[in-house]
Amino acid sequence: MDILKRLAHYREEEEKLRWEGTFGEYLDLLKEKPWVAQSAHSRVYNMIKDAGVEEINGRKKYQFFSNQLFGLEEALEKLVEEYFHPSAKRLDVRKRVLLLMGPVSGGKSTLVTMLKRGLEAYTRTELGSIYAIKGCPMHEDPLHLIPNHLRNDFYEEYGIRIEGNLSPLNMLRLEEEYGGRIEDVMIHRIIFSEDRRVGIGTFSPSDPKSQDIADLTGSIDFSTIAEYGSESDPRAYRFDGELNKANRGLMEFQEMLKCDEKFLWHLLSLTQEGNFKAGRFALISADELIVAHTNETEYRSFIANKKNEALHSRIIVMPIPYNLKVTEEEKIYEKMIDESDVADVHIAPHTLKIAAMFSILTRLKEPKRGDIDLIKKMRLYDGENVEGFNSADITELKKEYQEEGMSGIDPRYVINRISSTIIRKEVSSINALDVLRSLKEGLDQHPSITSELKEKYLNFISLARKEYDEIAKKEVQKAFVYSYEESAKTLMDNYLDNVEAYCNKAKLRDPLTGEEINPDEKLMRSIEEQIGISENAKKAFREEILIRISAYARKGKRFDYNSHDRLREAIQKKLFADLKDVVKITTSTKTPDELQLKKINEVVARLIDEHGYNSTSANELLRYVGSLLNR
Ligand SMILES: Nc1ncnc2c1ncn2[C@@H]1O[C@H](COP(=O)(O)OP(=O)(O)O)[C@@H](O)[C@H]1O
Ligand SMILES: [Mg+2]
C-alpha cells in the first residue's frame, strides 16, 4: 500500500464530490434528482433504509446498525418505525426531540455516533447528497430563496414542498451581493462533517444550570456592531451555535435533562415550529434532527418535576434496553475486545459465553409462570430449543413485563473485569473461571450494587459456573472420543433397534452370528437410567419413542440423534459414564504412565485443533474437569 498514492486518490475523490452553480442551475439539477432537497429527517431515514433491511420471522433487521449494535433489533425496529419513518413523512413526531432512554452502557451513545458518522458518509453518496447556499454559516437550504407566494407553483412543477423562511443574513446578502437576483445566488454541494462543523453537532452543556444559550443559537458579535451600526444587523451576528452548525443534519444533545427548563424552551420551539429565536433578531428557520439520551432514573425525575410538564409532549422517548440474548452479548464483548489493547490475548472457548450468561441473567426478570426457570428463559430468548416450549411461550414471557432489560450488569463492567483479569494474570490466556472469579470480586467495588442485589448476583455467578461445568465436562469427554458424533449415533441406533424389538415383542438378529436374540434389556436400562426413567416408566418411554419415530416417518423426516432431547441427553450421559473413569483417571493423575500421557497429548491436540484452545487453556481445562470428576 502506497500511502502517498492513496492520499492523491482521496483528493481526486474529494474533487469529484464538488459541485457549485447558480440557483438557476441548482433548479435544473433538482429536476433530475429531486431527492437532494429532502428534509433532514427524511435523509436520516433513507440512509438507514438504503443500507438494507432484512426480514427475519416478520421482524425487520436494519443492516445500518447491525455491524455495531447487537441484540437490539426490536428496539431499533421500533425506533425506525415509530420515529424515523413517520418523521421522514413529515408527520408530527418529527417536531419532537428524540430522547433515547436506557440503562448505562447500553449502546445509546454508540447509536447516536453511528447516525452521525453514517450521515457524514451518506452525504458523500449520490443518494445522500445535499446542497446549500454558498457562504452561509448555517448552510441554508437553497429553496428558502423561493418567495412564499411562489411556493405553491413550485410544488406543482417540482413536487417538492418548501418549509422555512430565508434567514435575515441571506436576505441581506441577496440584496447586497446579488442585487435581488435569486437565480444568481451561488449554491454548492456540502459534505457533512462534525470536525468541520457542517451538518453534525454535539452539544454538551458546561454547567447545566447557568448555560449560555449562545452556545446553542449563536450570538451577537459586539466587536462588529460599530461597523454595521446596529445589533440587529444580521452581519453582526455569529451563527456559530451548535444548532446553527447542525442545521440540515443532526445535533446530539448530551445531558439534556440536566439543563434548566428555560434553556430547553429554545430547543423545543425549534423542533416544534422549525425555527429558533436568537437575541434581538428575527426567527431563524432550521431543519435538523435533535437526539438526546438519558437513563431511566434521570428521566423519571424529569417527568416528576411539575415545571417540566409542558415539555413532555415535545419529547418522544424511545427505550434502548440492554440486549437479552447470550449469543448477541458475546458479539458485544468480542467487538469491545477487538477495539481494545488486549485484543491479542487468547480467550479460551466459552469464556465470553459464560460471562454473557451471567450478564443476561442479571437483566432478565423472574418468569411469573411457574413452569419455567430463569435459565430456561435465558435459553428461549436466545433462540435455543427448550423441550416443551415454543415461540408462543417466548411471546408470552415477553408480555409478562413491559420493560425488561432496563437494569442489570452492563457490558462495560464485564469488559473491565476481563481486562483486569488479563492484566493481573500476566499470561496471554484467560478462561471462564478466571472471568467468573473476577466478576465476583468486582461486585464489591461496583457503585450501584446493594447487598441484596449482590446476593442475587452471586447466585447468578454460581448458575453460570454450573453451566460452565457442564460445558467443560462435555468438551473434554468429547475430545476423548475419536469421533464423538459417530459414537453417539451408533449407540442410539443400537438402542432404537432394541426398543423396536421390545415394543413389537420381536427378536433381534445378532450381527455376527446371525442368531436370534432377545432385546438387550441391560443396555436399554443403562441408557434410560441416565435420565431417571424408572422400571415402571420404561415401557411408556419406549413406546413414546416409537410413536415419535413413526410420526417423523409420516412427515418424511428422519429421526436422528437430535430429534428427541431427552433421548439425546440419555445417550450423551451414557457415553460419558462409560468414559468417565478413563477421563477421571487420565486427567487427574499426577504421574501419568506412558499410555495415559499419550492419551492426554491426543486430547490436548484435539482441543487445540478442533475446539479453539491453545495449549495453556487446554491443559487448564483438563485439570479442571479432572477435579470436577473427582468430587
Ligand atoms: N447492544 C449493544 N451492541 C453493541 N455494543 C454495545 C451494546 N450495548 C453496549 N455496547 C457497547 O458498550 C459500550 C458502552 O456503550 P455506550 O454506547 O457508550 O452506552 P450508553 O451511551 O448507553 O451509556 C460501547 O463500547 C458499546 O459499543
Ligand atoms: Mg453514553
At position 315, the amino acid (one-letter code) is I
For residue 412, which ligand has an atom nearest its CA? 1
Q: How far is the CA of 70 from the centre of ligand 1 (A)?
A: 9
Three cell numbers written together for 569: 441427553
Is there a contact between 436 and 468 (Cβ–Cβ < 8 Å)? Answer: yes
CB-based neighbours (< 5 A) of ligand 2, an ion: 109
Q: What's the pLDDT score for residue 280?
A: 66
Q: What's the pLDDT score for residue 221?
A: 81
Q: How far is the CA of 108 from the centre of ligand 2 (A)?
A: 6
Three cell numbers written together for 611: 475446539
Is the shortest distance between the CB of 72 and ligand 1 below 6 Å? yes
Q: What's the pLDDT score for residue 402?
A: 86
- Calpha distance 142→37 (Å, rounded): 9
Is the shortest distance between the CB of 103 and ligand 1 below 6 Å? no
Q: How many helices and strands, by DSSP H and E, does the chain display?
A: 28, 18
Contacts of 197 by beta carbon, 8 Å cutoff, 6+ apart: 240, 245
Is the shortest distance between the CB of 323 and ligand 1 below 6 Å? yes
Nearest CA owner, ligand 1 atom 19: 105
Of 204, 254, 327, 332, which is best to mutate to test ligand 1, by the most ligand atoms within 8 angstroms of its C-beta?
332
pLDDT tens-digit readout, 157-194: 999 999 999 998 999 999 999 999 999 999 999 999 99
- Calpha distance 579→572 (Å, rounded): 11
Q: How far is the CA of 111 from the centre of ligand 2 (A)?
A: 9
Alpha-carbon torsion angle 100, 104, 110, 111, nearest 10: -20
Share of the chain above pLDDT 70, in %: 99
Q: How many CB atoms lie within 10 A of CB 52?
A: 11
Q: How far is the CA of 294 from the centre of ligand 2 (A)?
A: 8
Nearest CA owner, ligand 1 atom 13: 105
- DSSP labels, 76-144: HHHHIIIIIHHHHTT-GGGGSEEEEE--TTSSHHHHHHHHHHHHHHHTTSTTT-EEEETT-TT---GGG
Is there a contact between 550 and 499 (Cβ–Cβ < 8 Å)? Answer: no
Q: How far is the CA of 487 from the centre of ligand 2 (A)?
A: 51
Q: What's the pLDDT score for residue 514?
A: 83
At position 4, the amino acid (one-letter code) is L
For residue 108, which ligand has an atom nearest its CA? 1
Q: How far is the CA of 326 from the centre of ligand 1 (A)?
A: 15
pLDDT tens-digit readout, 412-435: 999 999 988 888 767 778 999 999
Of 110, 111, 329, which is best to mutate to test ligand 1, by the most ligand atoms within 8 angstroms of its C-beta?
110
Is the shortest distance between the CB of 407 and ligand 1 below 6 Å? no
Nearest CA owner, ligand 1 atom 25: 336
Q: How far is the CA of 193 from the centre of ligand 2 (A)?
A: 21
Is the shortest distance between the CB of 412 and ligand 1 below 6 Å? yes
3-class secondary-structure state, position 290? strand
3-class secondary-structure state, position 292? strand
Question: Tell me, what DSSP letter sits at residue 308?
Answer: G
Extract the residue ranges of the chain whose pLDDT is less than 50.
Answer: none
pLDDT tens-digit readout, 456-486: 999 999 999 999 999 999 898 888 877 777 8
Is the shortest distance between the CB of 498 and ligand 1 below 6 Å? no
Q: What's the pLDDT score for residue 311?
A: 84
Q: How far is the CA of 415 from the centre of ligand 2 (A)?
A: 16
Is the shortest distance between the CB of 415 and ligand 1 below 6 Å? no
Give the global pTM: 0.87
Q: How far is the CA of 298 from the centre of ligand 1 (A)?
A: 19
Is the shortest distance between the CB of 356 and ligand 1 below 6 Å? no
> Which atom, in ligand 1's list, is nearest to the CA of 293?
21
At position 392, the amino acid (one-letter code) is A
In 3D space, the residue among 395, 356, 361, 390 whose CA is nearest the CA of residue 378 turns out to be 361
Is there a contact between 492 and 571 (Cβ–Cβ < 8 Å)? Answer: yes
Is the shortest distance between the CB of 71 and ligand 1 below 6 Å? yes
Three cell numbers written together for 62: 436494519
pLDDT tens-digit readout, 551-589: 999 999 888 878 888 898 899 888 888 877 777 777 777
- Calpha distance 427→180 (Å, rounded): 73
Is the shortest distance between the CB of 359 and ligand 1 below 6 Å? no
- Calpha distance 94→236 (Å, rounded): 32
Q: What's the pLDDT score for residue 279?
A: 65
For residue 105, which ligand has an atom nearest its CA? 1
